[in-house]
Amino acid sequence: MYASKATKLQQQLANVTKKANEEEKKHRQAEADLADALQAQNPPLLLTQVPTAGAGVAATKAPKFAQQEKFNGKR
């Protein structure tokens, strides 16, 4: 009786291990697919495509607006 119970438990362990390995394989494949998709969506910049500091600053500078008179305590 103990031998049959041990065999049954070994089979259950083998089934659980097999399922866990399959799930881990799916997870690794999904991570690889995601990395590939992100790489295709945002390819690395070549050295010739890197913006210079001057171009980057000019593009991100906010436009200037006329300032209202400063509050001096009187209205």
- Asked whether residue 55 is domain-assigned, the answer is no
- Amino acid identity, residue 22? E
Q: Per the domain annotation, does 70 fall within a domain?
A: no
The answer to whether position 39 is within a domain reads yes
**Measured between alpha carbons, how far is 73 from 50 in angstroms, rounded to an integer?**
49
What does the pLDDT profile of the chain (75 residues) look like in tens digits?
788 999 999 999 999 999 999 999 999 999 999 999 888 887 766 666 656 665 555 556 666 666 666 666 665
The reply to whether 14 falls in a domain is yes
Tokens (6 digits) for 31: 């991570």
Q: Is there a domain that residue 22 lies in?
A: yes
Q: What is the largest CA-CA distance in the chain?
A: 98
Instruction: Please report whether residue 61 resides in a domain.
Output: no
- How many domains, the chain? 1
Q: Do the domain assignments include residue 26?
A: yes
**Can you give the residue range of the structural domain that contains 39?**
2-46
pLDDT tens-digit readout, 10-30: 999 999 999 999 999 999 999
Percent of the chain clearing pLDDT 70 (strictly above): 55
Q: Does residue 30 lie in a domain region?
A: yes
